[in-house]
Every structure is written in structure tokens, then in C-alpha cells.
Amino acid sequence: MKTAIIDYEAGNLANALRAAQRAGLDCFVTRDPEALRQADALVLPGVGAMKDAMDHLKAFGLADALKEEVRKGKKLVGICVGLQVFCDYSEEGGHVEGLGLIPGAVVRFPEGKLKVPHMGWNELVFRRPHWIAEGLPPHPYVYFVHSYYKSPADTPDVVACADYGVQVPAIIEKGHVLGLQFHPEKSGAVGAQIWKNIAAWMNGGDQ
């Protein structure tokens, strides 16, 4: 099984690659749409603004290729901004159209007592049993860095949330598309276990 780590100039590529390799995934880095079609599974890491992410995906011909491969049933994981581009649109920078793979909008944290961006460790609270929780402690903490989040938080695609003044969808899944708002590659032993669970799923697990 070959997993493509998608390079679309959205940062955090090296960390995601190393974490995926440590978890046992056979990875290669690419921004070639044809290479995506040859891969068995896909990872879309990301740091930064959704507008820049979408602009780069379109410029490299990756936006249409990603949607095409998902329609074929290929497994796709998005991290941080990688999750956000799965949504219908983002309010960041006006109105930015996403890939429309998972319904919902990407909205900014409301003004209040909590600092924005949401930066640091926060607990995952699972809405339902899920294979990605295999081997995790009862109260797993993971590392977040973001100012925007997927809304609403009460849809069937939301697997787990974190509380940061509002309910933040931290793990979402629809079909073969999985999104993580946090950074598993920066989340210590919990993140390493999550990567191992993702690797098992990508390598043909029956979850």
C-alpha cells in the first residue's frame, strides 16, 4: 500500500511524513495529480489559511484530483487546514469555497475570554465508538493550533469534539474521508497511537 503525502505548500509536510512513516505507512511526497491517482491512500497535511490552501490545490490541479479519487472510494486523511478544505466553504478571508466533501462551514472562534488562536492541549471527547480511539487513554489530550473550526458540531460526521468555549469538531469522518482538526504529529504518545490506527485503516483494516 502506497500513501501519498500531498505537498501543496501548506506547511508541516516533514512532520506529517515522519509521523506517518513511524506508524508504518509506506509514504511518498507529491503534488502531481497523476501520482495521486496511482496511490492507494492520501494524506493532506496543512498549516495556515484555507484561502491559500485552496488556491494552491487548484493551481497544482489537486482539487479536482482529490474529489475524483474520493468518488472512487480512496481513503483520504486531512490534518488541521487539511480538514477545513473538506468543508463546503470558509469564512476566513471572506467566502472561500472548499472541496465540499463534508457538509458544513469553517467559522472563526467567537470573541470572548478565550485566546484566539486556540493553541495548546485539549481533551478529545468522543461522540460515539470509533476505530481511531483504539488504544487511547480514557481522556486523551491532543495539540491544536487554529483560529477557525468546522460548524455545526452536531452532525453525524462528527466523531469527537474538543471544548474551547464552543464545541469544536476535532475528528470528522464521512465515508472514506477522515479529518483531524488537531496535529497528531505534535500530540505525543496519543498522536502516535492515532497515526498507528490510521495506518491500520489505510492498510486495509475493516473499520
* Residues annotated as catalytic (active site), given as ranges: 80, 183, 185
Beta carbons of 149 and 107 less than 8 angstroms apart: yes
Beta carbons of 19 and 191 less than 8 angstroms apart: yes
How far is 204 from 207, CA to CA, in rounded Å? 9
Backbone φ/ψ region at 73: left (φ over 0), alpha (ψ -120 to 50), beta: left
Best CA proximity match to 5, nearest among 206, 199, 205, 204: 199
Which sign does the torsion angle of CA 10, 38, 173, 120 carry?
A: negative
Best CA proximity match to 179, nearest among 70, 123, 102, 90: 102
Question: How would you classify the pairing of strands 41-44 and 75-79?
Answer: parallel
Beta carbons of 183 and 143 less than 8 angstroms apart: yes
